[in-house]
Amino acid sequence: MLDSETKAVETPEDHAEELRLWLRLLTCTTLIEGEVRGRLRQRFDVTLPRFDLMAQLDKAPDGMTLSDVSKRMMVSNGNVTGLVERLVESGHLDRRTSETDRRVQVIRLTKLGRAEFRRMALEHETWIADLFADLTPKDVRELMRLLAKTKASAQKSAARRRS
C-alpha cells in the first residue's frame, strides 16, 4: 500500500473531480436558467432579473431597501438601481425615500406589480417542477443537503480570501 507521501508525489494536486463537479453545477444552472428565461419572455414578456426582483418584493409586504435587494439577489448596487428604475417606470414598483433616513429608498410592489407577479409565479412553479420532474423526493432531499454543504463550504472559502 502506498503511503500518503508517495501518493502525493504521484498526484501532486488532484482536483480534477472538483473541477468537473463545478462544471456540471454550472451546466445545470445555465440550462435551467436559460429555459426559465425563455419561458418568462415568451409567456409574459418579462426578463428574468425583473421576475427575480419582484419575487424578492413579494416576500416583503412592507418593502425593502435597495441594499436589502442587492444582498438578497447577490448583485451589485448599481445593477439594482437600473432594474428598479425600469420597474418603477412600468408601474410595477413603488419607490419612496425613507422618512427616518434620507439615504434610504424603500421599494414595494404596486397592486399591478403584485397581481402580475402572482400570475407569473403560479406558472413558474410548474415549470420548475417539470424541469426537476425525474428526481425522486429522496433525490431532492439529498441534493438540498449536499448543496447546503456546498454553499457553506464556498462561503467559508470566500470569507478566508476576504480576511
| Residues at the contact surface with DNA, assessed by CB under 7 A | 34, 37-38, 41, 47-50, 65-68, 70, 74-84, 86, 100-106
The entry of DNA, its own copies, none that residue 8 binds, CB within 5 to 8 Å by partner kind: none
Is residue 72 within 8 A of residue 98, CB to CB? The reply is no
Residue 40: its H or E element: helix 16-44
Residue 116 CB coordination number (10 Å): 19
Query: Angle CA(107)–CA(110)–CA(113) in degrees, nearest 5?
Result: 105
Find out whether 81 and 67 touch, Cβ atoms under 8 Å. Answer: no
Nearer to its own copies, 76 or 100 (CB): 76
- Residues making contact with its own copies (CB under 8 A): 13, 15-22, 24-35, 39, 74, 125-126, 128-135, 137, 139-144, 146-158, 160-161
Say which entry of DNA, its own copies, none residue 15 contacts (CB below 5 to 8 A, set by partner kind): its own copies
CB of 162 to its own copies, least distance (A): 10
